[in-house]
């Protein structure tokens, strides 16, 4: 849709329609036609303001810990992201005694801000196209495995040279356009990231799993962190008491003016993965070999988790993030499959493939290369092993503590002890009992063992299933009890010597070994078909780019920074207009239903704050209401969570946090009538920081209070 619009642009400058604007654009090479379209829709900054110079909009946007996005909002390195992006940090600082998850947290001074292990933000410094160089090295001619090696080695060369100039920088090389292009991106990464402010989960995750992926929405999905830097250089430094708040080149100005329907809106962030170029065969595989088994296994696991979590508050704290994580893409998988069918996406793709075929027949392009029949055969070959792989990974890959340890001890776990004496080196599992619960862990494990057997072909069953049958009479619980009791894997603190004979005899080690063999077996089985599929999908993308050479095309998401632009506005929801914002009244109404659904529970203080007669400066001047969440047609996906939503002047009006149920297939096909980005209104964020948090020092820092 978008692309036709753009091609007409030259003719229709003044009358460009305000239809949905599909696309996740890289910034350094943003097509001029896209920028012109943005301008026509109300963007008032210059082309260079986006990417070039110290005050470029991009300089305020961060990759948040590799899985989310965020935005710098003050001269002292304050960062806004979503509550669900800060969730694990908040959870890890919570105990039954001081439960920041339930009660919220506000650091009243810099000293009280809480450091977080293994978290970071990174800034994109620069991006360049290195396709020519990669092609010269033969990237197009080698297998997937060798491509990965080649990419690694180039990355290393680029890193060596950038680090000679500035050792705080690093380079990542990523394929774009299905491997038809390669870009090198330079980042600066800060590891000292501290939690500054969060509201109670009742608001940060209001509506919980019930409302997740849904509109209308009232979730106040934000949390606040701060970047700390080396006191001498203002550059990245590992955590130290002596570090000081980072002074960024640029931060996003916050607008308290809001938006109206049709207003320009833009997101910048780090979308993780889309498959918009994927063939109809690939979509079928995704539906039936990825999404369906993922939803099936997680459904079983989550039922057990939630039962244990509801029974015991300590277990709830341990599993809060694990459950949310699992449930998020469980619901996504169900919703996506529903949309693939209801929208008829496979048929649409098949039609498109027929057009490509006709174009190839006519022009002779890609003749003897792109072959849809071959693609179909390769997907058929890989279908069963791919589906089995999903079952295997969803059942045993990090779903319970035992399996996690069984995998690790066999694969990639670092040894401890004297480096010069391999015989005395050992593995040791630290006591991490605050992370998991034995009864829950065992029940999940037993249920998933049983389910795996029921779902996959017997030829894929590891040998331990024979033992379960002969020695345990197919009693999975008894087998799991036996493993926990007999294996040294569950003896935290015990030194495990891989060189001793007893190592290989341990039932847990054997169990893990067999799982790994199963993984490698499946990989081997899929390898040739996967290589062939990759080549064909790459050609299909190249053919599309060639056939539509007069139009700008964006690449699929790959965790690099992207811009998406469009407008504020709703969609049709069951034949009725969805509306494009929610109000304080609507959250109070839901809160009153908390006895029907605990996920609508909120503390009395929240009822009180949101039932106010007068919201003062937080009232929207047009609607006269306090607005909470809003919709735009910005093109986002997982990874974009926490992305700043800017108005036409480049001012912050919201934080993107979700997509809508009606367009969960947008990762493979952006349907402009349905696909919406759900954001939390920045005025709701500031309202909560002000009225609930009384976080005056932070509001002053952002220039919002004197």
Catalytic residue, chosen from 211, 221, 290, 378, is 221
Q: Output phi, psi for 527, to 5 deg.
A: -45, -55
Residue from 202, 291, 327, 337 that binds ligand ARG (CB under 6 A)?
Answer: 327
641 is catalytic: yes
Q: Which residue in the block uniquely carries the two structure tokens 């929208």? A: 343
Closer CB to ligand ARG, residue 170 or residue 298? 298
Would you count residue 326 as binding ligand ARG (CB under 6 A)?
Answer: no
Closer CB to ligand ARG, residue 212 or residue 672? 212
Least separation in angstroms between residue 438's CB and ligand ARG is: 25
Separation CA 478–CA 679 (nearest Å): 48
- Span interacting with ligand ARG, options 181-189, 320-328, 481-489, 515-523, rule CB under 6 A: 320-328
Residue from 76, 218, 223, 328 that binds ligand ARG (CB under 6 A)?
Answer: 328
Q: Which residue in the block uniquely carries the two structure tokens 């389910």? A: 451
Would you count residue 405 as binding ligand ARG (CB under 6 A)?
Answer: no
Separation CA 98–CA 371 (nearest Å): 61
Q: Output phi, psi for 559, to 5 deg.
A: 65, 25
SS3 string of 311-334? HCHHHHHHHHHHHHHHHHHHHHHH
DSSP string of 243-301, one letter each residue: -EE---S--PPBPSS---TT-EEEEEE------TT--HHHHHHIIIIIIHHHHHHHHHH
Whole-angstrom CA distances from 160 to 21, 107, 148, 183, 235 are 39, 39, 18, 17, 19
Longest dimension (CA), the chain: 79
Residue from 175, 200, 335, 638 that binds ligand ARG (CB under 6 A)?
Answer: 638
C-alpha of 410 from chain center: 28
Residue from 537, 620, 658, 671 that binds ligand ARG (CB under 6 A)?
Answer: 658
Residue from 185, 212, 274, 558 that binds ligand ARG (CB under 6 A)?
Answer: 212
> Does residue 129 contact residue 181 with C-beta atoms inside 8 Å?
yes
Residue 405 CB partners (closer than 8 Å, separation 6+): 429, 489, 490, 508, 512
Closer CB to ligand ARG, residue 323 or residue 479? 323
Question: How many amino acids of this chain bind ligand ARG (CB under 6 A)?
Answer: 13
Residue 512 CB partners (closer than 8 Å, separation 6+): 403, 405, 406, 407, 408, 409, 410, 411, 489
Q: x/- contact string, 180-209, with ligand ARG (CB under 6 A)?
A: -------------------------x--xx
11-30 residues in contact with ligand ARG (CB under 6 A) are none
- Judged by DSSP in three states, 615 sits in coil
Least separation in angstroms between residue 638's CB and ligand ARG is: 5
Would you count residue 641 as binding ligand ARG (CB under 6 A)?
Answer: yes
Closer CB to ligand ARG, residue 243 or residue 291? 291
Least separation in angstroms between residue 640's CB and ligand ARG is: 8
55-84 residues in contact with ligand ARG (CB under 6 A) are 84
Least separation in angstroms between residue 323's CB and ligand ARG is: 8
Least separation in angstroms between residue 212's CB and ligand ARG is: 4
Least separation in angstroms between residue 71's CB and ligand ARG is: 16
84 is catalytic: yes
The DSSP letter of residue 598 is: G
170 is catalytic: no
Whole-angstrom CA distances from 52 to 125, 127, 183, 211, 527 are 10, 11, 17, 39, 42
Least separation in angstroms between residue 83's CB and ligand ARG is: 8
- If 0-12 CB within 10 Å is exposed, 13-18 middle and 19+ buried, where does residue 501 land? exposed
Closer CB to ligand ARG, residue 84 or residue 284? 84
* Binding site residues, ligand ARG, CB under 6 A: 84, 205, 208-209, 212-213, 324, 327-328, 638, 641, 657-658
Active-site amino acid positions: 84, 221, 641
């Amino acid at each position: 849709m978008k692309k036709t619009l753009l091609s007409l642009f030259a003719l229709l400058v003044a009358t460009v329609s305000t239809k949905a604007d599909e696309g996740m654009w890289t910034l350094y090479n943003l097509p001029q036609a896209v920028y012109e379209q943005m301008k026509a829709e109300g963007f008032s900054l210059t082309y260079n303001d986006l990417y070039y110079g110290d005050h470029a909009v991009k300089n305020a946007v961060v990759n948040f810990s590799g899985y989310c996005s965020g935005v710098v909002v003050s001269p002292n390195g304050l960062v806004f992201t979503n509550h669900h992006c800060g969730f694990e940090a908040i959870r890890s600082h919570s105990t039954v005694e001081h439960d920041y998850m339930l009660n919220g947290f506000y650091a009243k001074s810099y000293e009280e801000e809480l450091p977080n292990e293994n978290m970071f933000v990174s800034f994109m410094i620069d991006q360049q196209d290195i396709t020519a160089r990669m092609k010269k090295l033969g990237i197009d001619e080698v297998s997937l495995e060798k491509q990965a090696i080649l990419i690694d080695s180039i990355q290393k060369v680029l890193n060596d040279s950038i680090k000679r100039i500035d050792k705080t920088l690093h380079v990542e090389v990523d394929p774009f356009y299905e491997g038809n292009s390669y870009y090198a991106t330079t980042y600066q990464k800060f590891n000292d990231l501290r939690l500054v402010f969060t509201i109670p989960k009742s608001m940060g995750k209001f509506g919980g799993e019930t409302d997740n992926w849904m509109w209308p929405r009232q979730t106040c999905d934000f949390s606040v962190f701060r970047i700390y830097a080396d006191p001498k250089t203002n550059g990245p430094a590992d955590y130290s008491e002596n570090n000081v708040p980072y002074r960024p080149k640029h931060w996003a100005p916050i607008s308290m003016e809001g938006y109206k329907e049709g207003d320009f809106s833009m997101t910048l962030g780090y979308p993780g993965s889309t498959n918009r170029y994927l063939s109809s065969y690939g979509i079928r595989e995704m539906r039936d070999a990825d999404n369906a088994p993922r939803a099936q296994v997680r459904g079983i696991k989550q039922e057990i988790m939630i039962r244990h979590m509801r029974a015991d508050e300590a277990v709830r704290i341990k599993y809060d993030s694990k459950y949310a994580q699992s449930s998020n893409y469980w619901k996504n998988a169900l919703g996506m499959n529903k949309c693939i069918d209801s929208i008829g996406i496979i048929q649409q793709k098949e039609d498109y493939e027929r057009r490509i075929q006709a174009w190839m027949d006519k022009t002779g392009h890609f003749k003897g290369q792109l072959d849809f029949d071959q693609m179909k055969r390769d997907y058929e070959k890989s279908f069963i092993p791919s589906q089995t792989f999903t079952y295997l990974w969803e059942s045993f890959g990090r779903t319970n503590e035992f399996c996690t340890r069984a995998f690790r001890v066999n694969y990639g776990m670092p040894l401890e002890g004297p480096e010069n004496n391999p015989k005395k080196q050992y593995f040791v599992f630290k006591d991490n009992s605050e992370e998991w619960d034995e009864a829950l862990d065992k029940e999940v494990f037993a249920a998933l063992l049983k389910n795996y057997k029921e779902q996959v072909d017997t030829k894929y069953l590891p040998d331990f299933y024979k033992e379960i049958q002969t020695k345990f009479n197919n009693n999975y619980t008894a087998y799991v009890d036996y493993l926990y009791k007999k294996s040294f894997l569950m003896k935290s603190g015990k030194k495990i010597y891989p060189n001793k004979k007893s190592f290989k005899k341990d039932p847990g080690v054997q169990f893990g070994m067999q799982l790994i063999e199963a993984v490698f077996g499946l990989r081997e089985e899929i390898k040739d078909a996967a290589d062939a599929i990759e080549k064909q999908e790459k050609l299909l993308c190249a053919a599309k780019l060639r056939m539509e050479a007069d139009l700008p095309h964006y690449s699929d998401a790959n965790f690099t920074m992207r811009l998406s632009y469009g407008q504020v506005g709703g969609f049709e929801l069951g034949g009725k207009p969805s509306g494009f914002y929610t109000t304080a009244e609507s959250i109070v109404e839901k809160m009153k239903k908390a006895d029907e659904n605990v996920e609508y529970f909120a503390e009395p203080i929240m009822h009180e704050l949101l039932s106010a007669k007068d919201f003062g400066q937080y009232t929207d001047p047009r609607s006269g209401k306090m607005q909470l969440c809003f919709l735009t047609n910005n093109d986002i996906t997982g990874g974009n969570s926490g992305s700043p939503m800017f108005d036409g002047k480049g001012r912050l009006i919201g934080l993107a946090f979700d997509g809508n149920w009606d367009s969960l297939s947008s990762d493979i096909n952006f349907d402009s009538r349905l696909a919406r980005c759900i954001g939390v209104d920045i005025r709701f964020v500031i309202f909560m920081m002000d009225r609930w948090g009384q976080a005056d020092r932070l509001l002053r820092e952002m220039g919002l209070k004197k």
